[in-house]
Each structure stands twice: as C-alpha cells, then as structure tokens.
Structure 1
Amino acid sequence: MTVLLGALLTALLSVGVLSVPLPYVVLGPGPTVNTLGSENGKEVIQVTGRATSTSAGQLRLTTVGVQPTVRLRSALAGWFSSDEAVVPRELVYPPGESQEEVEKRNAEDFQNSQTSAETAALRELGYPIKVLVKTVTPGGPSVDALRVDDVLTSVDGAPVTSAAKLTELIRAKPAGTALKIGYTRGGTPGTATVTSREQDGRPRIGVEIDQQQPHPFTLRIDLGDIGGPSAGLMFTLGIIDKLEPADLTGGKIVAGTGTIDDEGRVGPIGGIAQKLVGAKEAGAKVFLVPADNCAEAVRNPQPDLPLLRVATLDDALKALEALRAGGQPTRC
C-alpha cells in the first residue's frame, strides 16, 4: 500500500498536479496577543485621563492563520496534521467575494468588535449607555410623542440598556402594537404611547437614535493585522483589568475567544480547535470558550488546558474570580 501511494504521488508530481491550486484553504494556529501588553512598541489598550493598573498575568486573544492558496502538497500535510484543518475555500471566501473584499469586511468586523468591547467594559465599570432620539421622522408614529434629545429608558416596562436592546424590544411585538415608551426629557421622566409601523418588513417607531456613553477618559485599542470579531471578549476583559485595581488574571496566562455585543453577550467564533493549539503554545493555563463552541472545543482538547464555558461577560468575570479564589469555574 505504501509503495502504491508513493508511486501515485510520484506520478502526480511528474504531471505537475501537486502545483495546481485547489479550492481549499488550510486553517492553522495564528498568533496570540496579550491585551494587557504591548505590540510593536505600543500598548494594545491605551487609556488617557485615568490611572491604570498593572497585571501579573496575561489576557491573550487567539487567532486563526489562513493559508489562502493551497496546493496538493500543503493540503495533504494539512489533512494529516492534528493542528490544522483543510476546509472548502468558500467557507472562508464566499463565492462572489474576492479575497480583498473578505479581508476588508474582516477588518470592519474587528473594528466593530473593539467598539462593542469598549461599550461592554464601560457598562461593567459603571458608565451606563444613553439612548437618545436624534431625529423624529416627519409623519411617523413618534411625531407629537417623542422629541429630539429625549433619552429613551424603557419599552413596555423593559429597560432600554442599549440601542440594540431598543430595537430588540420594538421588534419583539408585531407592527401595529401600541408601545409604552419611557423617556426622560430635560431630566424629567415621562411616558409616551407610540404605535409601531411596518417599514422594510419590520416594526419601527419612526425615530433615528444615537447611543452615547459619557466617561471622563479616553480609550483606544491599537492592534493591526487581525481581522474578524472574535477578539471582543478578550478586549473587554483587558479594558476592565486595566481600569480596575483587581488583577483579573490572578497572575495566570488566560487565553480565550468570543464575540461580544453591547449587552455583554458572548457569541460563537470559528476555528476553536486551532485557537486552542495557539493558546497552549503561548503557555495559557486556562481557556475561555463561548458556550456555543463548547462541544467543538471538547472534541479538540489540549493537554492541561481547562475549558471554561462563558455565555456572557458576567460569566467570564465570575470564572476568573473563581480561579483566583481556588474554586472550580463552570467547564465545557
């Protein structure tokens, strides 16, 4: 069998098949980055106008390396590698999109993940979000009910904690529903009844909104050459660690992954198996896994790398607190 396989490969090589690009990509462990540290001589998380603390450990985001052009030789190597995965090219580069377009979208997702990380971290640190009315649509359902600069606080008694939450609450009921919209106007609370209308197939209340989160310092995340939204959770934890006196890491190297939204919900990501390999190689002692990725992570474990299940920012903070106290956080 070995002789036959060798003869086949020799024959393929002789006709140049090994050099022909295949419709696959190879996924492998990418670099990991300590969000509490520096890259290329610059702090990853930069704070101006407020004192920051120093951690004895690390909070490392993890990435997946993508080999976009794959020939038979590298595909065979990937298929037989325990650290890599060979997947159809269309899973990474959808049909109709160029590699450059995908990379641009990934860069935008990465930027958005930083914004959501800042929002979630600042909420945890006690800086609430304000959802303000920016414009009222002429002839729309909110005319005579809401005004520019009203701060929207609730929908049918449910708190409006972010712009996304407002949209979620409005869309939770069909168009034509009379909604009780809580607001403050010039510091005075009030309630308006607004009947939603369908627009573009979805219920709306006819206002354009602006989300603000006042805080007396500036935050900046400075990290290039990484795309996608999956660093959101680790950026959020990094910001909190920098701005709080407590060391979230307890002196350990903590790795992880996961998207995050303004509400602090942690979402699933791709390439968890490769990220676990990268984390282990970086010396991580524990890995924060999005709840929806737990099953896949358990199928691809790394030795002596506990997998901690997190569905929210609060879950992640409680897991790290339990580690510092010598407890047992929830595992995958």
Structure 2
Amino acid sequence: MTLALHTPARPEGTPAPSAAGLRATARILARLDEGGTSRSSAVGSGGAVTRLPVLDGDGPFALRRVGAPGRQARVCVVGAMSAPLGGDRLGLDATVEAGAALHLTAAAATVALPGRTGEPAHYDVRLTVGDGARLDWLPEPLISAAGSDLRMTTTVELAPTARLVLREEQVLGRSGEETGALHSRLTVRRAGRTLLDQETAYGPGVLGWDGSAVLGGHRAVGQLLVVTPDFDDRPADVRLLGGAAGERPAADEGQGVLAPLAGPAALATAVAPDALRLRRLLDEAVRSAAAG
C-alpha cells in the first residue's frame, strides 16, 4: 500500500482520526468470470476475465481500478489521508479466488509518522490466493519517519497451485533524519504449511540493527518473494544481485541475493543506500527468477 507524503483534504464521509487513533480496513475480492461480462466490473475482452465484486476502500485507503487489457485485474491504492500515525490500526484484506488474477499496487510511498498518543501504529495485510490464481502484491516503499513506531504484519495463505509475486521495501528515515521504530513480520503458508515466516526489527530499542551483520550502514532494505508451481521441477538458482556478471557487487550500490526456498519459491533479499538502488536490485531479482 502507498500513501501520499502530504496531507490532502479529507474526503466527505471519511472517518476522522480520534485521540485513540484511526481504525480502518480496506477489502478487495477478485473473482474469475469465464463469461467475460461487462467492462464496468471486469477486466479483459472475451473469454475469462477477473471481476472485482468487492472493492471497498476505508479511511486512508482509496481503491482505484486501473484499466488494462487481459485476464489480470489491476487495482491501485491511493492515500486519502496521511497514515499510519501512532495509535492507528489499519488493515488491508485481498482475496483472489480460484483461477482469477490480480495486480495490486499503490500510487506513492507509505510514510509511518508519530501520533498524538505515543502508542505504536499497527498495519496488517492479509492476502489469500486460491488454486490456479495469481496475485502480484507490489506496493511502493514504506518509510519509517523519525519518532514513528509501526508494527506491520503481512500474512499470506496460498492454495497448492497459487502463484504469488510479493515485494516489500522499507526505507529507514526520510532524507537527513533518523529512522523510527519498525517491527515487521511476514508469514506465508502454502496448502496450510508454512513456506516462510520471518520477523525483522529496526530503529530505537533494537540492538545491533545497524551493525555490519545486519544493514551495514544502509538505510533501505527489501525483499521479493516469488511462489510458482514451476519451481517444483526446476528450483531457482542462487544468484548475487548487483554488479556486472561474475563480479562482486559494490557495497555503495547495495547488495542482495536470490535463493530458492524449501518449497516452490524463491526469495530475494537486498540492502541499499536508498530506495532507488534498492528497487533496481529487486527488479533484477524478478528478471533472474523469470529466467530460471
């Protein structure tokens, strides 16, 4: 999810944050329609299309269909107000039913900011992908501003033949400022079994997060997860990211690695001085995973 860096006017009907923080959840449902009905609620021309029977924005989440030909529906999350602030509890639920395809992105970076209560903000993303379905979850970076405290969880439930491309990018502090506190957990289950479960923490109160064994002075960190049944027969190769072929990546340009998981998946992890160089590394990981 991505939210604007400024504070736009609050749309009519949007709930105002209270002293205890804002409560809001956005919901998306993608469903395969093999009849190819009207373009007002479906994407594609003829044959099977993906409909969006539920596209329910709430609070800071404004959901927009993005027109595109083909079977995959595309949705962009646009920020309707600055969030998450301290004390907020936000959620985004996306379900892609069997055979459907959804590309979910955002319009700008999400900026975690301090609130009035001193309490942490919570942002929970829940993704469900059915058999033969595909989800591309490609939000813009999450920026942890100085003084903020964000607890973020991403939980993914995959059917045995589901496909997933998931990108996470975290930038620790805006230009010239210290980072806030950021605790993040990513859990991915396939056919009810855990494929990936990892937890990270950065910023004030976390020991060693900026040491050479973790970020080594970098301020942008990210990962890209690709899950596809294609890896059952041919797992992804281990590859270093960044630098010319056969050369060790330069530390000031960022570094990363793409490696197979114990399942039909590949995980790229990268660190870089800034969001631009981090994105280059993760884009390279996408190309490498696709090339096998």
The structure richer in helix per residue is 1
Normalising by structure 1, what TM-score?
A: 0.22
Normalising by structure 2, what TM-score?
A: 0.24
Q: Which has the higher contact order (CA 8 A, sep 6+)?
A: 1
The structure richer in strand per residue is 2
Bigger radius of gyration among the two:
1
